[in-house]
Amino acid sequence: MIRVIQWATGGVGRAAIETILDHPDLELAGAWVHSAEKAGTDLGTLVGRGPIGVTATTDADALLATAADCVLYSPLLADGTTLRAILAAGKNVVTPLGWFYPDAEQRERYDALCRAHGVTLHGTGIHPGGITEKIPLALTALSGSVTSVRAEEFSDIRTYAAPDVVRYWMKFGGTPEEATSSGTADALGSGYRQSVWMIAAALGFDLDAELRVTHEAAVATAPIDSPIGVIEPGQVAAQRLRWQGTVDGEPVITAAVNWFMGEAALDPPWRFGAAGERYEIEIAGDPGSFTTISGMHSHGAGAPVERHPGIVATAAHCVNSIPYVVAADPGVRTYLDLPLTAGRAAPHLHHAHRSDRSPVR
């Protein structure tokens, strides 16, 4: 069994614990928590299950001394010092917070650290971290002469149960100037830029040196109920951000997000369109393709959702990567370096839990 430590127990962390407990190849070895209130809590109880005999701790040093093969590192914000300490403790790391495709200088630095301690670092997730590069690359294998790749998110932020993030980090409820000058595009861009450059490297696009980044905001035209309270007319109620790789100034690779507080009262009057909340992947080539991914949004009629499908998917992508990361050679390992990863059958359908039957080969 592969022993896993969960680092932080927010939305992604709790979903990760559930997925680890149900994964036939993994064993939960511990969890780091930020708050003293959670310290000592049984991790099974923490996620609404029965006790499992493994408790949360705020003692990072003691946790890193625990026998474990991998840490799933998912605090709200990444801290490079902590991440490097985890790697230096001889623990492989899977994280949704970046390192999807580090630049040459960063990769060289982390490769050296990983090799020195015999461990692997892998960034993964959903958007960015899967739908913006891993899945588009798989779809381009069905096309020749690819001329453009677009991966785009359309989400109703009213169902995102993280009001502090929505107000203070996403900058909803303020002025358009505050939102578009807040640095959100740069902060998010640390991940989305890596998605663009990974696709360019894999497909052979010779991109212009700088990516094109745009950030637009729409305001409410009537009061809108939201996770941060009522958004009043004139306050930011929707945002669009794009990161584009260009060739001679023309976009060829696009990663984009569309965040709306519903669509009933926006100026400009942006809409989700008939397909609603979704992810879109469009490949232009010979032939091209257009893929819509649904099921990763809550569709909760505007109500916040504690166990949001997109958060669960992010956690699952991390957890399902762990066996492949532990088996990989030391260093930074991206989607371009690892084999195809997959999930596992539900426990009641998996042969590891059905000892009376041999697995079908």
Rounded Cα–Cα distance for residues 178 and 173 (Å): 10
Helices and strands of the chain, counted as H and E runs: 10, 14
Co-location of 217 and 338 in the same domain: no
Q: How many CB atoms lie within 10 A of CB 160?
A: 23
Q: Is residue 304 part of a domain?
A: no
Q: What is the DSSP string of 192-226?
A: HHHHHHHHHHHHT----SS-EEEEEEEEESS-B--
Same domain, 121 and 224: no
Nearest C-alpha neighbor of 320 from the set 337, 294, 339: 339
Where do we find the tokens 């701790």? 57
Task: For residue 243, report the phi and psi dihedrals to the nearest 5 degrees.
Answer: -125, 120
Residues 55 and 101 in one domain: yes
Final residue of a domain: which of 268, 295, 322? 295
Question: Which of helix, strand or coil describes residue 190?
Answer: helix
Strands (E), the chain: 2-7, 26-32, 56-57, 70-73, 92-95, 120-123, 144-156, 212-220, 236-247, 250-260, 266-267, 278-286, 289-293, 331-332
Dihedrals φ, ψ of 97, to 5°? -100, 15
Cα–Cα distance measured from residue 146 to residue 138, given in angstroms and rounded to the nearest whole number: 13
195 and 163 both lie in a single domain = yes
202 shares a domain with 77: no
Number of domains forming the structure of the chain: 2
Residue 336 and residue 280 in one domain? no
Together in a domain, 151 and 23: no
What is the domain-level CATH number for residue 75? 3.40.50.720
Alpha-carbon span 238 to 270, nearest angstrom = 8
The per-residue pLDDT for 98 is 93
Q: Cβ of 34: how many Cβ atoms within 10 Å?
A: 14
Let me know whether 19 and 81 are in one domain.
yes
Domain residues for the domain of 197 are 134-295
Distance CA 19, CA 184 (A): 30
Residues 105 and 241 in one domain: no
In a 3-state reduction of DSSP, which class is residue 248? Answer: coil
Angstrom distance (rounded) from CA 261 to CA 241: 15
Same-domain pairing of 37 and 147: no
Low-confidence ranges of the chain (pLDDT < 70): 299-305, 353-361
Tell me, yes or no, whether 149 lies in a domain. yes
pLDDT in tens, 101-115: 999 999 999 999 999
Residue 359 lies in a domain: no
Helix (H, G, I), strand (E, B) or coil at 37: coil
Query: Are 178 and 245 found together in one domain?
Result: yes
Residues 149 and 240 in one domain: yes
- pLDDT tens digits, 210-234: 999 999 999 999 999 998 999 999 9
Which residues, at least 6 apart from 333, have a Cβ–Cβ distance to it below 8 Å? 120, 121, 122, 325
* Residue 26 bridge partners (DSSP): 2
Token pair of 105, please?
């200088």
Which sign does the torsion angle of CA 102, 155, 170, 13 carry?
negative
d(CA 95, CA 66): 19
